[in-house]
Amino acid sequence: MTRIDDVARLAGVSTATVSRALRGLPTVSAATRRRVLAAAEQLQYAVSPSASRLAGGKTGTVAVVVPRITRWFFGTVVETVEDSLHQNGYDLLLYNLGGREQTRQRVLRTANLHKRVDAIILVATPLRAADVHALTKFDLPGVTISSGSGVPGWPCVRIDDVAAARTATRHLLDLGHTRIAHISGDPDDELAFTTHLDRRRGYQEALRAAGLRPDPSLDVESRFTIDGGTRATAELLARGEPPTAIFAACDEMAMGAISALRDAGLRVPQDVSVIGIDDHDLAGVLGLSTIAQPAADQGRLAARILLDPLGTGAAGDPRTPASVILPTRLVVRDSTAPPRAH
C-alpha cells in the first residue's frame, strides 16, 4: 500500500507539504502542488485525512468549548467557527459544558485535551486560576470569544458589554423614561459568568450620568433565557408600581419580559417599553428593540486569528492585538416608545 511518505519522496518534498497540497491549502505553490498531485496519481495514492494530518504531527482538530450550546449566541458562534475551520481542512471537537462546574474542570484541566486537538477556542467560558494554569501547560494556540478572563498569549474577540448596556439604557432615557428596570443574569450560576455584571454596570452608569440613582427594587436577577425573563418580570411586577421601561441583559430575557407584561394586561410599548441585547434571529419578527452584537463575526474573526498559527495560510494577521473589540449598534423597533402621559 502506498503511503504518504512515498508520495513525498517521489515529489521531493516533506510529508507535511504533501498533506497541505492534497488538502488544497493555499500555503503550497502551484508548481509544488502540481508535482505532488502528479506523484500521488503515479503511485495511485488515496488520501487518508487522518494519516496526512498525523504525518505533519497534527490532529487536524480544534476544540471549541461553550457553556450551553442551546443558547442563540453560542450556537451562532459555533456554526460560524465550524464553517471557517472546515474551509481550511480542520474538524471541530465540541465541548458543551452544560452550565456545570464539574464538566468545566474535567474539560479544561484534563491531561488528554492537548493530545486530541491542535488548538482551542473558548466561547464565553469563565476561567479560574487552575484552568488558566492547565491551559498554559498544554502549550496550544487558542482564542477566547466574549470572555472577561483569558489565557496569557491568547487573543480575545468580544464586544464592550458595558458600552452596549449604556447605549440600551440611554435609548430609554432619551425617550423620556426615568423609572427603568433591569433584568439580568443569575450570579449563582455554577460557571460564574461575568457578562451580566458588565451589563448591569453599563445600566447603572447610564442612570447616574442622567442624574438618576439606581433603584435596587427595579433590578431583578434570573437566567439568560426566555423563561428567566418571564420569571424576573413577574417578580418585578409583584414588587409594586411597574416600571415604564425594562432593559433586559439579553434578547431572550426581553422576549420573556414581553410575554409576562402581556399576561399581566400591560401593553408593549404603550405601558412598558422593552429593549434587549443581541439582535437574536427572532428579534426582528417580534419587533424587539435591541443592541445588535455581531455574533457570527466574532466566531469568524476568532477562527481566522487561530488558523494563522496553525499554518493553514488563512488570512490571519500576526499583528492582531491581544483583544479585538467589535462594534455594536442600536436597532430601534416597535418595543420601545416614549412613556405614556398620566
What is the SS3 string spanning the chain?
CCCHHHHHHHHCCCHHHHHHHHCCCCCCCHHHHHHHHHHHHHCCCCCCHHHHHHHCCCCCEEEEEECCCCCHHHHHHHHHHHHHHHHCCCEEEEEECCCCHHHHHHHHHCCCHHHHCCEEEEECCCCCHHHHHHHHHHCCCEEEECCCCCCCCCCEEECCHHHHHHHHHHHHHHCCCCCEEEEECCCCCCCCCCHHHHHHHHHHHHHHHCCCCCCHHHEEECCCCHHHHHHHHHHHHHCCCCCCEEEECCHHHHHHHHHHHHHCCCCCCCCCEEEEEECCCCHHHHCCEEEECCHHHHHHHHHHHHHCCCCCCCCCCCCCCCEEECCCEEECCCCCCCCCCC
**Pairwise pLDDT comparison (337 vs 102), residue with the higher score:** 337
Per-residue pLDDT at 313:
46
Taking residues 230-254, report their average pLDDT.
Answer: 96
CB atoms within 10 A of CB 223: 21
Least confident of 39-43, 75-79, 242-246: 39-43
pLDDT per residue as tens digits for the range 48-99 = 555 545 445 577 899 999 988 988 999 999 999 999 998 888 899 999 988 8
pLDDT per residue as tens digits for the range 116-163 = 898 999 998 888 888 888 888 888 889 999 876 678 889 999 999 999
Please give the single-letter amino acid code of residue 27.
Answer: T
**Pairwise pLDDT comparison (312 vs 229), residue with the higher score:** 229
pLDDT per residue as tens digits for the range 291-301 = 999 999 999 99
The CB-side HSE value for 177 (13 A sphere, CA atoms) comes to 30
CB atoms within 10 A of CB 276: 29
Highest-scoring range by mean pLDDT, 19-28, 58-67, 185-194 = 58-67
Per-residue pLDDT at 261:
97
**Pairwise pLDDT comparison (43 vs 296), residue with the higher score:** 296
Q: Read off the pTM.
A: 0.81
Which residues, other chains included, contact 241 with Cβ-Cβ below 8 Å and sequence gap of 6+? 179
What is the rounded end-to-end Cα distance, in angstroms, of the chain?
85
Q: Above 50 in pLDDT, residue 318?
A: no
The CB-side HSE value for 50 (13 A sphere, CA atoms) comes to 1
Give the confidence band of 205 by pLDDT, cuts at 50, 70, 90: very high
Q: Above 50 in pLDDT, residue 315?
A: no
